Amino acid sequence: MSKSKPQPHVALAETILREAREELSRADEKSSLLLAAAGVVLGAIVAAVVAGDWSPFDLRPSVQWLWWAGSTAGIASLVAFAYSVYPRTTYRGQRPPSIVAYYGDVVSTPEDQLEERLVETATAAGSRSLDQLKIISEIVDKKFRGIQIGLWLIAASTFACVVAVVLDPLL
């Protein structure tokens, strides 16, 4: 039995889906690396404070607020990076319940309807690819937005904390 050539729009969807999965992998790698790096920096600062080598309370009040604003932005960047790494296991959009396109669909499909829904998905030209294209694209978009927000927050945090420490002896 020969496999028929997919319709042009389905072939395009499958190409974009393949590329979106590659982007998903890159987004996960970036966010994991950024989360780890930000965690190391936070850990070093906490270690210095716990060891008694330095404390933000040693800063003059005129710049201490800047330190705390930067610290808040740093913690928020950790949250943004963690959001980017956090696995998405459910799709919350509007879609036909009969499509079985990924493992989450299998888990949520009643056992007595699984075979019927698999047959329906397999016979509907492009339904799985189109469904996955939408889901994966939305996940990639959310992950990259989290990375962007985290990068802006970590930049603001670094700027604020460095300015606070540099200005303190000058005041």
Average pLDDT in the chain: 88
Is the pLDDT confidence value at 24 over 80? yes
DSSP symbol at 56: G
The per-residue pLDDT for range 35-55, each reduced to its tens digit, is: 999 999 988 888 888 898 888
Average pLDDT value for residue range 79-100: 80
Range of the domain at 160: 8-170
CA atoms within 13 A on the CB side of 69: 14
| pLDDT attached to residue 62 | 93
Say if 133 falls within a structural domain. Answer: yes
In total, how many domains does the chain have?
1
Say if 144 falls within a structural domain. Answer: yes
pLDDT band at 96, cuts 50/70/90?
Answer: confident
- Alpha-carbon gap, residue 60 to 167, rounded angstroms: 9
Say if 3 falls within a structural domain. Answer: no
Is the pLDDT confidence value at 106 over 60? yes
Say if 106 falls within a structural domain. Answer: yes
CA atoms within 13 A on the CB side of 85: 15
Is the pLDDT confidence value at 123 over 70? yes
Say if 93 falls within a structural domain. Answer: yes
Residue 7 identity = Q
Say if 1 falls within a structural domain. Answer: no
Say if 60 falls within a structural domain. Answer: yes
Exposure of 149 by Cβ count < 10 A (0-12 exposed, 13-18 middle, 19+ buried)? middle
Say if 2 falls within a structural domain. Answer: no
Name which of 133, 127, 146 is nearest 38 in CA terms: 146
